Structure 1
Amino acid sequence: MSFFIREGQNKKLSGIKRKFSDKKSTKKFKKQPENEEISSDSDFESDQNNLNDAEESSEDENLTTQERRLKLAKVYLEEIKRQEEKRAEEKEFHESNVSQRLKDDLLEQTGRLHKNIADTIDRVDVESIHRWKTKCNRDAVTCIVLSKDNDTLYSATKSGVITMYSLKTKQKTHSLPFKKVKEPQEKLHIRDLSISFDNKFLAVAQGKNIIIRDGKSLNEVHIFKGHSTDVTGVVFRQDSHQLFSCSNDRSVKVWSCDQMSYIETLFGHQSGITSIDALFRERAITSGGYDCTLRVWKIPEDSQLIYNGHSGSIDCVKLINEQTFVSGGNDGSLHVWGSMKKKPLCTIKNAHGIDSTNDLPNWIVCIAALLNSDLVASGSYDGFIRLWKVTDSFRNMKQILEIPVNGFVNQMMFSQNGDYLIAAIGREHRSGRWWNKTDAVNSVIIIPLVKKNKKN
């Protein structure tokens, strides 16, 4: 099968989508080059008029175009300073943080930003591990998502309960009540969550539908319908309200939460899709379950890249950066991939050992990757979460820590600074009821990661 496939069958839909997207981009980004940080003259004059009104200064009327550009650039830098001061919290703020932030933003957009985080982790602060066990978690916790400001955590269960937690106060702040209905359990089952970059929209993969909720109140905003079977994954494209979804119906769908509209459908997988991820580019990556392929969907080009390497169902995939990703499945192996290579850059077989009851590899249920770094976590049901360091330009992996956890690790994610790892734990697998670990506790746990240069 070709590594690079053009989707002829999607041309009609793609044409509709491109017309939609071009119209939007022309209106919003008129005359503004993609990589330029300072606005064009027309956009600048509008912003400058706002500044003039606010400052009530008559001197600005005589400024040249170059002087106006310089003034707007200063406003932009001041905004970055405020963001960095907030991030620094109790740390001392330095002017060098601004220039470093600008460099990091450029490298992140191009997929070349890399941070060495794994070597800074010393151990896990076991005594400080926090577990949220509430009445809302009467069923297995299937998924979690953390807001971009690291303040609010959302979790969901098989019974359809969504709960909000405050990481600052370590308290539950809101939840949707458990509903006793006569409908089949599958219609309540939530398999995935995703939060938009501005925390405005929370996408909920529930049954065959995608429910868009308000990120603060959890009120229902809209329902996307179109998948013919259960939705298995949702993800917002970074810094946008464009949403990607995947389903057991073997399709990927693209939606706009700005217009609350459907854009297009992508086909190619030969089995139910198990997970999906995306970053800044207008592309998504999916794992195809028992068709044993990973696919990168290049949406503007209406094409896809296909990767083969697993010997069983591929159940999870996660982007490390725009160029590199990691996958796991029921063959027990972890694979690291580069977008320009058809075969894995690195393979760790039996990453979670062998199941003594059947002499088969322990299933890799979920993966987490700290964005643009060398730190990866894998979860199974063998009693441990394992932390890995990706080395040698992503061509090798070595285990650095084992974290004891009882139950199915259904989903994980790192905080943005890598100070802690959050995990959704259930007695059952998030997608089925094949096993039941009766001694496990349905809960959400926060695991502090102690850095070598920090004290308890």
Structure 2
Amino acid sequence: MSFFIRGRRRDVKEKKGKKRGLKNKQVLPVKKSKFDSGLDEEITSDEEEEYLKGKVNDIAEKEAEDVETAQEKKVRLAREYIQELRKERENEDDEELDDKAVAARLQEEVLESAGKLRRLVAETFLEPVSEDFIVLKSKHQKLPITCLTVTNDGKFIFSGSKDCSIVKYSIEGKRLGHIPGGRKGTENLHTGHTSHIYSLAVSSDGRFLASGDKGGIIHIWDGETLKHLKKFKSHRDAVSALAFRHSSHTLYSASYDRMVMVWDLDTMAFVEHLGGHQDAITGIDSLARESCITSGGRDQSVIVYVIAEDKQLRFVSPHESVDGVKLVDERTFVTFGQEGSLGIWTTLKKRPHHMIKRAHGCQAENGLPNWICSATTLVNTDLVASGSMDGHVRLWKITVDRGHRKLEPLFSIPIPGVVNALAFTSNGSHLIIGIGQEHKLGRWFKDKKAKNSIVVVSMKKNV
């Protein structure tokens, strides 16, 4: 007898049992869920209404906690920020003075985020003398310095070198730590870089240090202890530049593979990649907004990635190559390149406001312009510094006339060698210069008289 027939006969017997109304039929007990305890009790209509009202109120309260409007979020964050500012104030007894200081600080933050904050400080600086120089040279970095970065509080300096090592200094010149470099081919054995380091960046709170090398590797380190935290291998070519978004742990990386990648270091995870360049990306920078700006080398373009709105703003340079870009504020930026040109731009105009050709003069041997290897800005001010191979770091003042910006020379600082990296401390008290006998990307020229070192210049002002 087949299975289907047996199943059919069983169904027939069950139907007959139901018709006869068998009293001895067994009823299996229903198991109660542990979440339903107390819900099966008999309740009156009044109790039921109260019970339902309580449930509705609980749900409404939970939804109110979970769902926060954009305006409510702004108010909450503003209150938290005001509390943080008040804690920073030393004189908490004088509430009136404290409130005025907080209001002024908030107004400054608003102007800064809008790109409208501009302090006129360039003319207050004095030309440095020999007593204002401190030379930092480590036995662990015998090859040219290729990059450097400074913490937001201006206390620590990190430098990268062609020998694949990283050294940490205090602003006073004391060596505080060292990350050794490894030999090529030991990537699986050595914790750190095994090819030339091209880029460094430190988060605004000093918690994370990021370093990128010629092999496309990004390493993340603890900014205080230099302990290794993470290794990223997503780029397919050299990591030419790194930048942190201010007051966050969002890292932007630019590479010769023509891609910009966004990383979240709180979770140590990749977020997204950004395209748009047609050639190797040579520079990147970012401030407080959820955006970054990049230079595309020989594709002659600069792109502003507005990440929150998923938009790109493209600017085309009249010169053959744009080797680097630095933000002055959220709306103004500076570009530089191999042709020795230094330009000032704004996001409101597709062409540069002003372009200085041969900003560092020409080479005596062949008449070619000196390659501008690095530049930096004192953010939200009118001060710019540029470095080349002509033996001088030149400082420039940004002037504004009827909305038109222009670069004017201030003074120069004598520095023998190739200036591969520049950085101001956030308050402008020091200018940090990374020197090499060779250019950070190759060996096209060499200055044997120069020293591979870091030079800390104290920037003094008129009293």
Fold shared per TM-score above 0.5: yes
Which is higher, the Rg of structure 1 or of structure 2?
Answer: 2
Tell me the distance in 1 between the aligned counterparts of 2:67 and 2:291.
Answer: 20
- The aligned residue for residue 111 of structure 1 is 115
- The aligned residue for residue 23 of structure 1 is none
Whether 2:418 is the aligned partner of 1:415: answer: no
Q: What is the Cα deviation at residue 111 of structure 1?
A: 0.9
Q: Is the 2:322–2:335 contact (alpha carbons within 8 Å) kept by the matching residues of 1? A: yes
Tell me the distance in 1 between the aligned counterparts of 2:88 and 2:66.
Answer: 22
Provide, for residues 322-378 of structure 1, a one-character-per-residue CA deviation record: whole Å limited to 9, x for no partner. Answer: 000000001111111110110001111111011111111111111110000000001
Whether 2:308 is the aligned partner of 1:304: answer: no
- Which of 162, 171, 176 aligns to 2:174? It is 171
Whether 2:200 is the aligned partner of 1:193: answer: yes
Whether 2:159 is the aligned partner of 1:155: answer: yes
Decide whether aligned partners of structure 1 residues 74 and 131 sit closer, same or farther in structure 2, where only a CA change above 3 A counts. closer
Tell me the distance in 2 between the aligned counterparts of 1:233 and 1:245.
Answer: 6
Aligned residues: 389
Whether 2:36 is the aligned partner of 1:36: answer: no
Q: Which structure 2 residue ranges, 5 or more long, are not aligned?
A: 1-64
- Which of 127, 132, 135 aligns to 2:131? It is 127
Q: What is the Cα deviation at residue 396 of structure 1?
A: 1.1
Tell me the distance in 2 between the aligned counterparts of 1:408 and 1:254.
Answer: 31
Q: Which structure 1 residue ranges, 5 or more long, are not aligned?
A: 1-26, 41-68, 85-92
Tell me the distance in 2 between the aligned counterparts of 1:242 and 1:34.
Answer: 24
Tell me the distance in 2 between the aligned counterparts of 1:29 and 1:273.
Answer: 41
AA aligned to 2:174 is Q
Q: What is the Cα deviation at residue 188 of structure 1?
A: 2.0
Tell me the distance in 2 between the aligned counterparts of 1:32 and 1:300.
Answer: 15
Percent identity between matched residues is: 38
Q: Is the 1:368–1:414 contact (alpha carbons within 8 Å) kept by the matching residues of 2? A: yes
Tell me the distance in 1 between the aligned counterparts of 2:199 and 2:230.
Answer: 17
Tell me the distance in 2 between the aligned counterparts of 1:300 and 1:147.
Answer: 26
Tell me the distance in 1 between the aligned counterparts of 2:430 and 2:162.
Answer: 25
Q: What is the Cα deviation at residue 179 of structure 1?
A: 3.5
AA aligned to 2:448 is T
Provide, for residues 148-204 of structure 1, a one-character-per-residue CA deviation record: whole Å limited to 9, x for no partner. Answer: 111111111011111111124x21011113434555999421111111121111111
- The aligned residue for residue 143 of structure 2 is 139
Q: Please give the residue correspondences for 1:218-367 in structure 2 after superposition, counting only pairs within 5 Å.
A: 218-367=226-375
Tell me the distance in 2 between the aligned counterparts of 1:409 and 1:425.
Answer: 5
Structure 2 SS opposite 1:104: helix
Tell me the distance in 1 between the aligned counterparts of 2:121 and 2:322.
Answer: 27
- Which of 416, 428, 433 aligns to 1:406? It is 416
Provide, for residues 82-134 of structure 1, a one-character-per-residue CA deviation record: whole Å limited to 9, x for no partner. Answer: 499xxxxxxxx987544332221111111110000101112213222000011
Higher relative contact order (CA 8 A, sep 6+): 1
Q: What is the Cα deviation at residue 312 of structure 1?
A: 2.0
AA aligned to 1:195 is V
Q: What is the Cα deviation at residue 380 of structure 1?
A: 0.4
Q: Is the 1:136–1:178 contact (alpha carbons within 8 Å) kept by the matching residues of 2? A: no
Q: Is the 1:378–1:385 contact (alpha carbons within 8 Å) kept by the matching residues of 2? A: yes
Tell me the distance in 2 between the aligned counterparts of 1:444 and 1:294.
Answer: 29
Off by >3 Å, runs of 4+ in structure 1:
27-40, 72-77, 93-99, 178-187
Query: For the aligned residues, what is the CA RMSD?
Result: 2.6
Tell me the distance in 2 between the aligned counterparts of 1:32 and 1:382.
Answer: 53
Q: What is the Cα deviation at residue 431 of structure 1?
A: 1.5
Q: Is the 1:80–1:98 contact (alpha carbons within 8 Å) kept by the matching residues of 2? A: no
Q: What is the Cα deviation at residue 224 of structure 1?
A: 1.4
AA aligned to 2:421 is Q
Q: Please give the residue correspondences for 1:38-77 in structure 2 after superposition, counting only pairs within 5 Å.
A: 38-39=76-77, 75-77=83-85
TM-score w.r.t. structure 2 length?
A: 0.79
Decide whether aligned partners of structure 1 residues 215 and 73 sit closer, same or farther in structure 2, where only a CA change above 3 A counts. closer
Tell me the distance in 1 between the aligned counterparts of 2:232 and 2:353.
Answer: 37
